Amino acid sequence: MGFIAANRLSLSLNTTTKKNKSTSRVARTESSGPTIVGITATISLDAMSGDLGAEVVVRAAASTLQKHTRLELLLVGDRFELDGLIKRIVGDEARMRVVQATEIVAMSDAPVDAVRRKKDSSMRVAINLVKSGEAQACVSAGNTGALMATAKFVLKMLPGIDRPAIIAELPSIGGSLHMLDLGANTLGTAEQLFQFAVMGSIVAANVKGIEHPRIAILNIGAEDTKGHDAVKDAALLLHASTLNYIGFIEGNELFSGKADVVVTDGFTGNIALKTVEGTVGLMRQHLLRAFTRHWFAKLQGLLARPVLSRLALDTDSRNYNGATLVGLNGIVIKSHGSADSYAFQHAIDTAVVEVQNQVPQQIGSLLRREAA
């Protein structure tokens, strides 16, 4: 689950950033999730692969259908178990259907075994539904490596994309940012980093309504001379493109609000996010000790409870659940394995937005324009 450790990140600060000529414009803010208007969409849900079981998926599906009146959900897994949960939790719901699958990909399964030996797993069947056109997107909380391998095998890559990448929305000062790659590729060439930038720009534009997302490359310094050849050559490609490239960004500025999309290879991105996650955990422990050290500190904690409650709400990692496997010829969303129903619902919302905006098609179109 390390590829999406970022979903536990809690560093959001409600601070307004000063605008400059490269500042992006946000067309809409969505606090309660998107609503399908004028279209019908079908999304397949891998109901069996998450750590907390199928009930989480059923409850998330029920809540999602209350918001999206033109959405249909296909719950993939053990029919007997899912029918019982739906009857108990939902009742009759014509827009929620069960698709039978007899196997489950375990978190310990190797990706190659998931592809070769578990062809009737809930994960594989859910992705097959996207391939066949019966669903427009798939959401799974299962084994990340297996999901990536299976999705790549079944759906294939978009023309012009060498490798898929994992992108997730993370909190930042004044809003959020999208970062990729978070672990799908340990290395990245300049051309691949450029492709990541194209994909990240499309995702940020559609998910957050940003007209011209500001793109930065994660580097060891902001100067053009810093970094290895791949990042320097990628910067040259981005400077020559129509994308809103603002330059290099260092690790201490990741969440400063300066960039909407941060591009890096999966090795660096995964380590950066795990480091930040550990730092957040350390700060939480310091706060806990500070407010429980003695009776007066506990009294101060009670007085600060409204502020702390608001901080907890603003930094709720469940609001950032749902990482996209971009570069595929189809939409696949990775939910955190331990996501509860609220978090899993957010992952479904992400799939809804990407279906609405036809994200894979937009990535392909932008790549063709840049290549022209």
pLDDT tens by residue, 203-253: 898 878 888 999 999 999 988 889 899 999 999 999 999 999 999 999 999
Residue 313, token pair as written in the block: 């709400």
Instruction: Provide the angle, in degrees to the nearest 10, between the axes of the packed helices 190-208 and 229-239.
Output: 50
10-35 mean pLDDT: 37
pLDDT at 57 exceeding the cut of 60: yes
Distance CA 372, CA 370 (A): 6
3-state secondary structure 243-277: CEEEEEECHHHCCCCCCCEEECCHHHHHHHHHHHH
Residues 45 and 60 both lie in one domain: yes
305-324, pLDDT tens digit by residue?
Answer: 888 887 777 767 777 888 99
pLDDT at 28 exceeding the cut of 70: no
What is the residue type of 148? M
Tell me the average pLDDT of the chain.
Answer: 85
215 domain-assigned: yes
- By three-state DSSP, how is residue 337 classified? coil
Other Cβ atoms within 10 Å of 274 Cβ, number? 17
260-288 mean pLDDT: 86
21 domain-assigned: no
Residues 189 and 230 both lie in one domain: yes
Residues 294 and 344 both lie in one domain: no
% the chain with pLDDT above 90: 52
Nearest residue to 51 via CA among 335, 369, 271: 335
What is the residue type of 343? A
Q: Grade residue 173 by pLDDT with cuts at 50, 70 and 90.
A: confident
pLDDT at 93 exceeding the cut of 70: yes
171 domain-assigned: yes
Residues 78 and 170 both lie in one domain: no
Q: What's the DSSP call for residue 328?
A: B
90 within 8 A of 96, measured Cβ to Cβ? yes
Distance CA 15, CA 168 (A): 21
pLDDT of residue 270: 87
Distance CA 213, CA 196 (A): 13
Please, where are the H alpha helices in 133-183? 144-155
181 within 8 A of 261, measured Cβ to Cβ? no
What is the residue type of 258? K
pLDDT of residue 8: 38
pLDDT of residue 310: 79
Antiparallel, parallel or unpaired: β 331-334 and 323-326: antiparallel
180 within 8 A of 167, measured Cβ to Cβ? yes
pLDDT of residue 284: 79
pLDDT of residue 31: 34
Of the CA atoms within 13 Å of residue 121, those in its CB half-sphere come to 27
124-143 mean pLDDT: 96
64-77, pLDDT tens digit by residue?
Answer: 999 988 899 999 99
Which single residue is written with the structure tokens 């095998």?
A: 153
Q: Grade residue 1 by pLDDT with cuts at 50, 70 and 90.
A: very low
* The total number of structural domains that make up the chain: 2
95 within 8 A of 65, measured Cβ to Cβ? yes
Residues 138 and 283 both lie in one domain: no
pTM of the model: 0.82
pLDDT at 20 exceeding the cut of 80: no
198 domain-assigned: yes
Other Cβ atoms within 10 Å of 205 Cβ, number? 22
Q: Grade residue 362 by pLDDT with cuts at 50, 70 and 90.
A: confident
pLDDT at 175 exceeding the cut of 90: no
262 domain-assigned: yes
Q: Which residues of 45-70 are buried (b: 16+ CB within 10 A; e: fewer)?
A: bbbbbbeeebbbbbbbbbbbbebbee
244 within 8 A of 212, measured Cβ to Cβ? yes
Distance CA 70, CA 56 (A): 22
20 domain-assigned: no
Residues 252 and 231 both lie in one domain: yes
pLDDT of residue 133: 94
Residues 106 and 228 both lie in one domain: no
Q: Grade residue 191 by pLDDT with cuts at 50, 70 and 90.
A: very high
199 within 8 A of 167, measured Cβ to Cβ? yes
Nearest residue to 255 via CA among 177, 166, 317: 177
Residue 370, token pair as written in the block: 């840049």
Residues 237 and 354 both lie in one domain: no
184 domain-assigned: yes
Residues 206 and 303 both lie in one domain: yes
pLDDT at 16 exceeding the cut of 70: no
347 domain-assigned: yes
Lowest-confidence pick of 15-29, 106-120, 147-161, 334-348: 15-29
Residues 213 and 266 both lie in one domain: yes
CATH number, domain of 318, equals: 3.40.718.10
266 within 8 A of 168, measured Cβ to Cβ? no
Residues 166 and 269 both lie in one domain: yes
Lowest-confidence pick of 31-45, 227-241, 255-269, 290-304: 31-45
Domain interval for residue 168: 162-326
Residues 74 and 123 both lie in one domain: yes
Nearest residue to 205 via CA among 236, 181, 169: 169
% the chain with pLDDT above 70: 89
135-156 mean pLDDT: 94
pLDDT of residue 311: 75
